[in-house]
Amino acid sequence: MSMSRTNSTADQRPYHHGDLHRAIVDAALEVLSESQSTEFSLRELARRAGVSHNAPYKHFSDKRELLAAVSGVGFELLAERMADATKELGSPRERLAAMARAYVSGGVQNPALYRLMFGGYLTGQDSDRPAIERTAAYRMKALVVDAMSGGALGHEIPNNAENERKLDGAILVFWSQMHGLTLLLVDRLVGPGEAMRELSDSVLQSMLDGLANCIPVIPPGVWVGPPLAD
């Protein structure tokens, strides 16, 4: 499954059916995937969804709010990719490797959505991220925590308050490696793209070997992932 979602015209529902919010988000995902650019208008999305040009403003106050919803769906789709990749796997290490491959391939297949999700476009002046995005991102993080706490790093690490900073330290290393590899592949500084599975497996193996010897404990007050609202 790609990190984009497209609907045929027959699948789209008119506004009076009450699906406008998702119809507009799906239209944005479609345009983003096709154009690899966020330079589109709400009017264009309304046209694609088959509604009046004013209809999107009933659900989105501005374009940033719309893109926050798009990013939130992007995290949901990525979490779905990662979960699907682990369905037949019992070993926590194998599950983490499968999630790493799903993460990298998702970003390489739709760079514009990936940059929207993990870039600074949606970060506000207070360094906060939209709530809809934070919630979806933490569902994805939970999948990684489950594999790591279950023994992917060579031993079990109970997912409790005592180990929270250790698990966040391990996730920081994992995320840094996978995020960096994804962007290097997207920007063609590493390649070819067809080798991304082998590359992600190699990077992950080296990372896990290091984490087996030492897991960095992040300092108090440091967060990993979009900070949850107080």
Residue 140 CB burial class (10 angstroms; 0-12, 13-18, ≥19): buried
Instruction: Look up residue 220 and give its two tokens.
Output: 């108090």
Please state, in angstroms and rounded to a whole number, the distance separating the CA atoms of residues 54 and 141.
Answer: 36
Enter the DSSP assignment of 59.
T
* Percent of the chain topping pLDDT 90: 44
Please state, in angstroms and rounded to a whole number, the distance separating the CA atoms of residues 37 and 7.
Answer: 19
**Res 184 pLDDT > 90:** yes
**Res 5 pLDDT > 70:** no
- Number of Cβ within 10 Å of residue 169's Cβ equals 20
Kindly state the greatest CA–CA separation across the chain. Answer: 59
Listed as own residue / partner, the contacts of 14-19 with beta carbons closer than 8 Å and 24 or more positions apart are 14/50, 14/51, 15/51, 15/52, 15/55
109-136: pLDDT as tens digits: 999 999 999 887 777 655 567 777 777 7
**Residue extents of the structural domains in the chain:** 18-60, 67-213
Instruction: Look up residue 92 and give its two tokens.
Output: 């926590």
Same fold, 18-60 and 67-213: no
Residue 160 pLDDT grade (very low, low, confident, very high; cuts 50, 70, 90)? very high
Enter the DSSP assignment of 190.
S
Task: Mark 71-100 as b/e (b = at least 16 C-beta within 10 Å).
Answer: bbbbbbbbbbbbbebbeeeeebbebbbbbb
**Res 82 pLDDT > 60:** yes
Structure confidence at residue 128 (pLDDT): 67
39-69: pLDDT as tens digits: 988 888 888 888 888 888 888 888 888 998 9
SS3 helix, strand, coil % of the chain, rounded to 5?
Answer: 65, 0, 35
Please state, in angstroms and rounded to a whole number, the distance separating the CA atoms of residues 36 and 80.
Answer: 22
**Pick from 184, 156, 183: nearest CA to 170:** 156
Global confidence as pTM: 0.83
Instruction: Could you please state the CATH topology (level 3) that the domain comprising 18-60 is classified under.
Output: Arc Repressor Mutant, subunit A (1.10.10)
CATH number of 67-213: 1.10.357.10
